[in-house]
Amino acid sequence: MSIFVSVEDLEGEPLSDIFEIERVYRKFPKEAGVCLRFVGEAVDASFNALQTPSLLAELEAVSGAALDAAERAELERVLKVCAKHAGKKNSYVKFYGEAKSSE
């Protein structure tokens, strides 16, 4: 199970490389916050220019958690992309959940 991270424009065209996170999303808060609690392996979540500063702050808070090397590397990649696009008009940070097939 994993989540794909993408930054897209209004038409859904990618503004950065799409990449996969497989571990760090499990450290995201499940109830607190206004953004990360909506990111999960069974759902998709999209954040606009007004929401991305809050998303970035929540991701930075996760960096204070106990993370192994793989989780920290994934988080750093997400942070870098979000920092680059936070607050930019007509750009959307999207998380696409990819739940394991039940077959």
Q: What is the pLDDT of residues 3-61, one digit of tens each?
A: 999 999 999 999 999 999 999 999 999 988 999 999 999 999 999 999 999 999 999 99
Q: 13-25 burial string, b = 16+ CB within 10 Å, else e?
A: eebeeeeebeebb
The answer to whether residue 74 scores a pLDDT higher than 80 is yes
pTM of the predicted protein model: 0.91
Total domain count, the chain: 1
Spatial separation of the C-alpha atoms in residues 49 and 27, rounded to whole Å? 24
Which range marks the domain in which residue 63 is found?
2-98
Q: Is residue 13 part of a domain?
A: yes
Q: Is residue 103 part of a domain?
A: no
* Strand ranges in 1-103 using DSSP code E only, listed in sequence order: 2-8, 19-21, 44-47, 92-98
Q: Is residue 8 part of a domain?
A: yes
Spatial separation of the C-alpha atoms in residues 84 and 52, rounded to whole Å? 10
